[in-house]
Amino acid sequence: MMPGMGMQPQVILLKEGTDTSQGKPQLISNINACMAVVDTVATTLGPRGMDKLIHNDKGQVTISNDGATIMKLLDIVHPAAKSLCDVSLSQDAEVGDGTTSVVILAGEFLKEAKGFVEEGAHPRSIIKAFRVASQLAIEKVRELSVSLEGKADEEKKALLKKCAMTTLNSKLVSGEKEFFAQVCVDSVSKLDPQTLDLKMIGIKKVTGGGLRDSFLVDGVAFKKTFSYAGFEQQPKSFVNPKILLLNIELELKAEKENAEVRLDDPAMYQSIVDAEWNIIYDKLDKCVASGANIVLSRLAIGDLGTQYFADCGVFCAGRVEGPDMDRVSKATGARVQTTVNGLNPAVLGTCSSFEERQVGAERYNMFMGCPQARTATIVLRGGSEQFIDEADRSLHDAIMIVRRALKHAEVVPGGGAIEMELSKYLREVALSHTSKSQLFIRAFAKALEVIPRQLCNNAGFDATDVLNKLRQKHASLDGSGKNFGVDVNTGGVVDTFNAFVWEPSLVKYNAIQSATEAACLILSVDETVRNPKSEGADAGMNPGGRGMGRGRGMAGRGMGRGMRR
């Protein structure tokens, strides 16, 4: 046998420069990356959580302790850690709150699994046990939930307010949580109970004043649009006005540059000049003749139109933003028109009162007492722009929670109480398993304790001491301690259900499911392949093409040399 004949041909499967890492070290590395992300947001959990100040290349500054907002703004490049970002955003979209909890839980599940992976346990066994534990935990949450169905309206509103206050506890606006919780409940109560469409709640921000100066408008409010001469002469308030919505421009346009008109008779010149004026006057006449007191348009209403409407005692506003226009349309019953021909009373909307009011340095147009659809607008006040933005994010969470609690009227005790009860339950269940899954379910149970532990750490209390008290309470045989959670005010434990620290069950279902899925996803990855940017179209179309071609060539050269020898 000739030298070289026994050599194995070298086969290069992936494109040159492709970076691959695999096996146990890769899995551990992914878990460590996720832990780094968790460490970033962990301190924002709970009523005593800290805020994060994030500023980007453009110099925009955001101060927030909302998990989803922070995860969105962190520029995470690690592919495995990105899944934690996704799980936080999905929690925000589905429930609106619990975005920090879900990231912390997913990280803790991975942290518990890391020890087993290092000792040689197969990730698939851990994934299987975690999924079983997650299912058991969700069934237990269902069992522990307290339904709000069948309560009187007033009582139900009081209970929803308590849910909103629990959410606002951990936010920047916690000092005014009672005031804002009431605003959230009132605004959601104004929506159509069938759809509870969030688009029907507008949030407008006006810098200046204090948080207490914020108020709720029973209807639609938007900032006064750009207006032309003659605007001040228009009436600024109406009772039961007729409202006309347009999607046409009511202003004179400059002629195109190369416009050319040839006339045989000089007397016709004036009629050509007047033609455009006649067209716009005709449109304005038709608007006024329709009986409308308020004319709103998505496009501009120029000087001529503004002055004309002022002379006729009609209020007008041009360049109204799309979402505001849609809300006015739904709330007042007015239909947006693309022509002023054939306007009949059926296309006009109405409301009980309209007024233009000064709010801080801005003027706002307010349509109140709308008969058609139920809508509300929250006008937020505050000292600085960042502060109002954070108040907006906080209110979004609280509104989502109230909305979810209305749809799925079940609550569980907050403050880590439900996690401690689930942990105790899963520890007991684990003993009924004889395989390795006993260890993995116990690890899942231990991971759930991270929520009360982090609440203690963020409040500056001794977590070990508080957790021991909680374990003792939850271990009571008569079940009297099942609602005990962390008391962030005294550093002890308290029956959080009686203290009205409530969370909708849906937050917990979603958090446990999403966190388990994210942890299982990361545990199931054992190799990362990183492709550099393809060079040329062919390389892009066939990433393995060049590498494999070279591999065959090298093998061929090796064999050829051997044969010649």
State the catalytic residues. 66, 99-100, 397
Joined tokens for residue 526: 């054992």
Cα distance between residue 189 and residue 320, in whole Å: 27
**Residues ≥6 apart with Cβ < 8 Å to 259:** none
Report the alpha-carbon distance of residue 495 to residue 413 in Å, rounded. 8
CB 245 within 8 A of CB 367: no
Sign of the alpha-carbon dihedral angle for 150, 155, 160, 162? negative
Could you give the CA distance from residue 190 to residue 396 in angstroms, rounded to a whole number?
16
The answer to whether residues 84 and 71 touch, using CB atoms and an 8 Å cutoff, is yes
Residue 93 token pair: 């979209």
C-alpha to C-alpha distance for 431 and 478, rounded to whole angstroms: 20
Asked if 44 and 65 count as a contact pair (C-beta separation under 8 A), the reply is yes
Q: Which residue has the tokens 């087993």?
A: 116
Instruction: For the chain, state the CA radius of gyration.
Output: 32
Burial category of 244 from C-beta neighbours within 10 Å (exposed 0-12, middle 13-18, buried 19 and up): buried
Give, in degrees to the nearest 5, the angle at Cα 167 between 418 and 164: 105
* Torsion-angle region of 115 (φ positive above 0: left; ψ -120 to 50: alpha; else: beta): alpha
Ramachandran category for residue 345: left, alpha or beta (phi over 0 → left; psi -120 to 50 → alpha): alpha
Residue 296 pairs in a beta bridge with 245, 317
